[in-house]
Amino acid sequence: MTSTNTHTNTPRVAVVTGGSGGIGRVAAERLAADGLAVVVSYSGNPAPAEEAVQAIEKAGGTAIAVKADVADETEVAALFDAAEKRFGGVDVVVHAAGIMLLAPLAELDLADFDRMHRINVRGTFVVGRQAARRVRSGGAIVNFSSSVTKIALPSYTAYAATKGAVDAMTLILAKELRGRDITVNAVAPGPTATALFLKGKPEAVVDHLTKMSPLERLGTPDDIAEVVSFLAGPARWVNGQVLYANGGVI
């Protein structure tokens, strides 16, 4: 069934940053399956983004790929321009782009901290600013936080700090959009089996993280995409919240 904009009776449109891989790609495919036209935003290699578009189209959906550095105001504005030119507007923004560089606070290279801050914090601010200006009435903005802000795992200090900033921006933007009928929420995944999460982790560490949840497994991208789908569609009374999708870890 096609998801339509109630005001114009046209298909709803989603912009998904980080949509070429990991949770972002699965979220893009889920939203396309929900009937939204999807703009898959990527920052580097176009091949995975085109693969995501092809997968969506093969499943009967509609999508395009657009390159944009989420921390670059001009490129993000052009991303939204492309969405509006191709599909007529933007109803949903899922900001899944982000990086995670781990080390204890005393050992983390400040260049890595600055890189995470640029992408995770400035990127959320830049994308959020365009979303606040462009998303149509009845729309939704979904940011990506992390359960590590509560779990407080060693070596995650800098990464968790960037996601704490995402939480603050999410809660405040929801109030700043008063009267617009636009919801703003964040999804905070727990340990999830993605390349980003599993990279460099010894098997013993992965086993420990697996057992943290009462469900005794890692999350999957599909688990997180289900929450994104809920916030992007039927969850009109959920607003200004950080939803912890972590299988009960906290």
Residues serving a catalytic function are 159
Answer yes or no: are the C-beta atoms of 61 and 30 closer than 8 Å.
Answer: no
Kindly tell me the burial class for residue 110, based on how many C-beta atoms sit within 10 Å of its own C-beta (0-12, 13-18, 19 or more): exposed
- Token code pair at residue 97: 């782009």
Answer yes or no: are the C-beta atoms of 248 and 214 closer than 8 Å.
Answer: yes
Which residues does 152 contact at the CB level (< 8 Å), separation at least 6?
160
**How far is Cα of residue 211 from the mean position of the Cα atoms in its chain?**
25
- Token code pair at residue 78: 């052009």
In the beta sheet, which residues pair with residue 219? 192
Answer yes or no: are the C-beta atoms of 93 and 135 closer than 8 Å.
Answer: yes
Q: Helix 157-176 vs helix 123-134: angle between axes, to the nearest 10 degrees?
A: 20
